Amino acid sequence: MISVTWSGVTARRMARSYLTVPATGVRPADIATALCGVHAQILSAAELSIGRRIAGATRADVQRALWEERSLVKTFGPRGTVHLLAADDLPMWTGALSALPSGAPNHPDPVRFTAAETDQVITGIGDALADGPLTVDELTAALEKRVGPWAVERTMDAFAVKWPRWRQLTSTAAHRGVLCFGPDRGHNVTYVDPRTWLPGLRPNDGDPAARRLLARYLTAYGPARPKDFARWLAIPPRAAIELFRKSADVLERVDFDGEPAWTLAGDTDMPAEPPSGVRLLPYFDAFVVASQPRERLFPGAAARRAQAGGGAGNYPVLLVDGVVGGVWHLRRTGSRIAVTVEPMGELSPRHRRELADEVALVGQVMQATATLTIGSVTVGAHA
């Protein structure tokens, strides 16, 4: 059995995530493919996640790929959260995510839909969106007419208000390939039918799609264990164990610092040099969310400072030589960006120079003039 170390695995993950050297000659969609999706609940964070990984790119390149070229699609991806996915990968994603069970808790009665009601509502969503983009309110009205008042009762708790019941199915509808995001209409999001937004879209068969998704994940973030994959995708651990079992013919077991882990067969080479340098990663950057074991990525004080509620990505993080070494915050005023970085230890002169370069890179990607302050980050998570 081949043995690998945290240092080598981290260096490989950084290289494959384009954090060692920015990519050249690639599209924003290629980055989304390599990262297995880019978290986009905060769209500016997704723009920075992608833009910083392509030499010379700006947020405008990401926006163009999303809304004009449509080589990226904004939809509900891993963990039922908003992601940018490569449009070419959407058949795989929808096939896999619609076939794998969700680990998310069910809504209580009488909010929860039965399986038959779920099918009715999702069919209604697809039918309504076939007529063009709709806001949440417009889609709610359309579902009341097409499905019935029971589908839109305001019984779903959300942010101190009551949402219509159908909204519990937005991620399920996306995973079945009948809903994704369209361009905002003023301050309102719109949903569109991905089959018209991306003509020819057809979800892949579930089992092969899930196996392809596992292979993509292990290429980017392996070696890994079934529980790591389950945590990343928010599926029950037993479903991940079964998927690893079905994929055994293409997997190889390795010793990862004394623990068993898996990678694709033959894909065991690690960089000779340890991870090095300073990186500023935005909210929910894919590298931070997917890399396991998380206690190695967030050592000691980093776990307390940078993981609000135990979740990775709740704060933008300062990566120092491959591990989380601080948090940071960005405040934009017009064409200027003020970056505050809070290291959790003393930065060497080399790290300070690299941090200045990172701040300049953030400014370039976000198309603004950036300034750096080293001090305390006083805002909370998701600020």
Q: Along the chain (383 residues), what's the average pLDDT of each consecutive run of 10 residues?
A: 96 98 97 98 97 98 98 96 97 96 78 93 96 95 96 85 92 96 95 94 95 98 98 96 98 98 97 96 97 94 85 92 97 96 95 98 98 94 74
Phi/psi for 59 (5° steps) reads -60, -30
Which residue carries 């894919």 as its tokens? 286
What span, in angstroms and rounded, lies between the C-alpha atoms of 64 and 158? 32
> Is residue 288 one of the residues assigned to a domain?
yes
Phi/psi for 83 (5° steps) reads -135, 160
Burial 173-188 (b: 16+ CB within 10 A, else e): bbbbbbbbbbeeeeee
| Beta-strand runs (E) in 55-214 | 72-76, 82-86, 134-135, 154-158, 161-164, 180-185, 188-192
> Is residue 314 one of the residues assigned to a domain?
yes
For residue 309, what pLDDT is reported? 72
> Is residue 103 one of the residues assigned to a domain?
no
For residue 380, what pLDDT is reported? 84
For residue 186, what pLDDT is reported? 93
Q: What is the distance, to the nearest Å, from the Cα of residue 377 to the centroid of all Cα atoms in its chain?
A: 24
> Is residue 318 one of the residues assigned to a domain?
yes
DSSP-derived 3-state class of residue 184: strand
pTM for this structure?
A: 0.95
Q: Which domain holds residue 365?
A: 278-374
Identify the H or E element spanning 32: helix 28-35
Instruction: Count CA atoms within 13 Å of residue 171 on its CB side.
Output: 14
Instruction: Report yes or no: 236 and 230 within 8 Å, Cβ to Cβ.
Output: yes
Phi/psi for 98 (5° steps) reads -80, -20
| Beta-strand runs (E) in 126-226 | 134-135, 154-158, 161-164, 180-185, 188-192
Domains: count for the chain? 1
> Is residue 308 one of the residues assigned to a domain?
yes
For residue 187, what pLDDT is reported? 92
For residue 106, what pLDDT is reported? 77
Instruction: Count CA atoms within 13 Å of residue 75 on its CB side.
Output: 33
> Is residue 290 one of the residues assigned to a domain?
yes
For residue 383, what pLDDT is reported? 66
Cβ neighbours of residue 279 under 8 Å, at least 6 residues apart? Answer: 19, 318, 319, 358
> Is residue 291 one of the residues assigned to a domain?
yes
- Between helices 206-221 and 237-246, what is the axis angle to 10°? 90
Q: Which two tokens stand for residue 174?
A: 């996306």
For residue 105, what pLDDT is reported? 67
> Is residue 222 one of the residues assigned to a domain?
no
